[in-house]
Amino acid sequence: MKRPTIHDVAAAAGVSRGTVSRLLNGDKYVSPAARVAIERAISETGYVVNRAARSLVTQRTGSVVMVLSEPHEKLFEDPNYSTMIRVAIRMLAERDLSLVMMLAGDESDRERVVRYVRGGHADGVLLVSTHAGDPLLDALHTGPPAVSCGAVIGRETVIPYAAADDRLGARQMTEYFVSLGRRRIAMITGPMDTPGGIQRLEGFADVLGRKATSKLIAHGDWTQASGERAMTELLERAPDIDAVFVASDLMAAGALAALRAAGRRVPEDVAVGGFDDSSVAISTHPPLTTIRQPLAEMAQETMRLLLALIDGAGHVDPVILPTELVIRESA
Amino acid sequence: MKRPTIHDVAAAAGVSRGTVSRLLNGDKYVSPAARVAIERAISETGYVVNRAARSLVTQRTGSVVMVLSEPHEKLFEDPNYSTMIRVAIRMLAERDLSLVMMLAGDESDRERVVRYVRGGHADGVLLVSTHAGDPLLDALHTGPPAVSCGAVIGRETVIPYAAADDRLGARQMTEYFVSLGRRRIAMITGPMDTPGGIQRLEGFADVLGRKATSKLIAHGDWTQASGERAMTELLERAPDIDAVFVASDLMAAGALAALRAAGRRVPEDVAVGGFDDSSVAISTHPPLTTIRQPLAEMAQETMRLLLALIDGAGHVDPVILPTELVIRESA
DNA sequence: AATACTTCTGTGAACGTGCACAGTAAAGCT
DNA sequence: AGCTTTACTGTGCACGTTCACAGAAGTATT
């Protein structure tokens, strides 16, 4: 059996297509009598508007595409995405928009994304974890509005974003270490081509000044294994470390393992601070003292920016949200 | 500037729409000369086919919808989803299909999903973590093909699925405990309206027979907190427990915390076994001995089933994949 | 030489919708 | 009474594509 069209509804309600269309699109100028007749006809026939036909004439698609730019292997290690996805679906659904997901891990992926967006298949683009200098960015310059959750390095003024105040968070943790009387404070950073990588290090340096020597700084790539590696390295370079600020909880979990292997007690010998307040923070032993990022709000604000742009706002300002120190047992 | 249409391409190549359309849709009967002319015209104009227009006539949408049926709060605690999403995007992209995400946490969500699917906006439906008796299921009976990652209780014969052999996995872990000489083996299950909840308990009982008394069984809801609660409960009921099989790694992390709080050493006093081999398994202390589920393969097989059905296969058989014991330090 | 087949091409119709426009009837105003 | 305004309704066209069909040109078969 064929799906009912707007024609069928109109016939059942004894009006014309135009009137049904007006009701559907929230136009005024529909008489109360027509309104009830149409509403009844819709529920009787089980009519659902055909998005394809609508898109064809309105030049809008009713969907937003979320582009995940992580290389494939380590995609989704970060619980960050989950929140973003959930919030995006939710806020889009309210406006009857749907969320399409695409990967942009390698060149062919990126090409596909560009074709998709250029082809006018999305009303908006939601960038997640896009790295500096991603070739995608140039291609996206034209086309529907794009926003990012977390700043895109080098495009801060071009691509609106909502992000946590990474630098503030790093300062909060470092100051906390100082207040505890720790003297030799090290840091494990994220990749230096990500905002979190750069700004958390900046916050660390803000507090420690010249005491933040390169000997006390090691780099990771957000993975647990890299955290473990970096910690081992730090312990070799500076065995007298009494605190370490790790730029993510997952890496901190790795650092804990390395410290345990080296026979250091946490927090007695070495205080450990994480970042994110993700679910791993409470599954480690000891539970991690960390910096809470307001993930849900970040996602919400990102979506707010995108929706505003889709609605025709010419310009929107980035949003920076405060972080918060969460004290548990690792420091 | 307007986007080029198939007309523009045809004009640029000096042929008619029909010929371009034939080339695009892989039809034979396109002369070599026309072929090169069209291909050149496409790349010169930057033409991208308009999916809405195509959908309108083909009655296909070029997209598959993934329906996440978790209640909102605890959505995505499970890394399971991430793999499924990644694999789905990947396999769909190969066929130029896109993935749309929808939530079905509450009644209004479900209604939206039904409208969407009934409205013909998806060529296939991908169910994830759908609970027994979900009202969505009846509504989905008609419409495009639907499959599930993990069995849907009560619909095993109606909705094809790919899943891990939960029962086998549970047997593997329980037998391992027995082989270690453990005598008082307890279990923390998942919710009893999920396949993982039911079948992992069945496997446990398969091995222990009447020794699996209700005193030694507690129920959780997959969350870490519930694992901790259940463990505490078990310790009260049966203080002489020397092993516990926990139906998920996340709950096992909770159980570890409870054991630590009770002063039991792991694995010396109590051996702990998890299930999933998710990322938390290596971030706990001690790292969890667990049952590996082949998540990626499960996702792949699920997609294979769905794609086969979309291609017109009338019937496909469920796929059950073997699990594997991963020995770490908790048992 | 006539016929049939193969390979290729162009054309018109249809898919279901929104929108501009024309039109109607009633009410309000001068 | 005539004119303008308001509230509402119906109609034709366009959106960009695929598909069925008709037909042309060349080749093989009788």
pLDDT for A74: 53
Per-residue confidence band for A190, with pLDDT thresholds at 50, 70 and 90: very high
Highest mean pLDDT: which range of A135-144, A322-331, B66-75? A322-331
Strands (E), chain A: 63-68, 98-103, 124-128, 146-149, 161-164, 185-189, 217-219, 243-246, 271-273, 290-292, 319-321, 324-326
Whether residue B81 and residue A82 make contact (CB cut-off 8 A), yes or no, is yes
Task: Give B130's DSSP letter.
Answer: P
* β-pair type (A185-189, A243-246): parallel
pLDDT for A72: 56
Any strand C atom closer than 7 Å to B56 CB: yes
Q: Distance between the two ends of chain B, CA-based, in angstroms?
A: 66
- Nearest neighbour of A86 by CB, restricted to B75, B83, B260: B75
B14: left (phi over 0), alpha (psi -120 to 50) or beta: left
- The DSSP bridge partners found for residue A189 are A219
Nucleotide with smallest C1' distance to residue A17 CA: D10
Mean pLDDT across B273-278: 94
**Which nucleotides along chain C are within 7 A of a protein C-beta?**
7-12, 14-21
- Nearest neighbour of A279 by CB, restricted to B63, B77, B83: B77
Mean pLDDT across A261-274: 96
- For residue B30, give Cα distances in angstroms to A175, B12, B38: 71, 16, 10
Q: What is the pTM of this model?
A: 0.90
- The DSSP bridge partners found for residue B187 are B217, B245
pLDDT for B39: 95
Per residue in A41-85, pLDDT (tens digit) is 999 999 999 999 999 999 999 999 999 987 655 544 566 788 899
Mean pLDDT across A72-101: 82
Q: Which of A21-25, A125-129, B69-73 shows the lowest mean pLDDT across its residues? A: B69-73
C-alpha B79/C-alpha B82 separation (Å) is 5
Asked if residue A233 lies in contact with residue A186, where contact means CB atoms within 8 angstroms, the answer is no
Per residue in B1-31, pLDDT (tens digit) is 678 999 999 999 999 999 999 999 987 889 8
Whether residue A50 and residue B56 make contact (CB cut-off 8 A), yes or no, is yes
Confidence check: pLDDT of B158 > 60: yes
A75 neighbourhood in chain B, CB within 8 Å: 82, 86
pLDDT for B138: 85
Tell me the residue type at B227: G
Asked if residue B126 lies in contact with residue B66, where contact means CB atoms within 8 angstroms, the answer is yes
Tell me the residue type at B256: L
Mean pLDDT across A192-212: 94
Any strand C atom closer than 7 Å to B19 CB: yes
Structure tokens at A88: 């995006």
Confidence check: pLDDT of B234 > 80: yes
A182: left (phi over 0), alpha (psi -120 to 50) or beta: beta
Confidence check: pLDDT of A88 > 90: yes
Contact residues for B97 (Cβ-Cβ < 8 A; gap 6+):
B62, B63, B64, B123
Confidence check: pLDDT of A166 > 80: yes
Higher pLDDT, B291 or B34: B291
Confidence check: pLDDT of B272 > 80: yes
C-alpha A229/C-alpha A216 separation (Å) is 14
Confidence check: pLDDT of A272 > 90: yes
Mean pLDDT across A270-299: 93
pLDDT for A79: 62
C-alpha B148/C-alpha B158 separation (Å) is 10
pLDDT for B71: 65
Mean pLDDT, chain B, rounded, equals 92
Per residue in B241-270, pLDDT (tens digit) is 999 999 999 999 999 999 999 999 999 999
Per residue in B64-86, pLDDT (tens digit) is 999 998 765 554 556 678 889 99
Confidence check: pLDDT of B40 > 80: yes
Mean pLDDT across A109-119: 92
Any strand C atom closer than 7 Å to A5 CB: yes
CA angle A293, A294, A297 (to 5 degrees): 150
Substitution target from A98, A102, A228, A272 for chain B, most B beta carbons within 10 A: A98
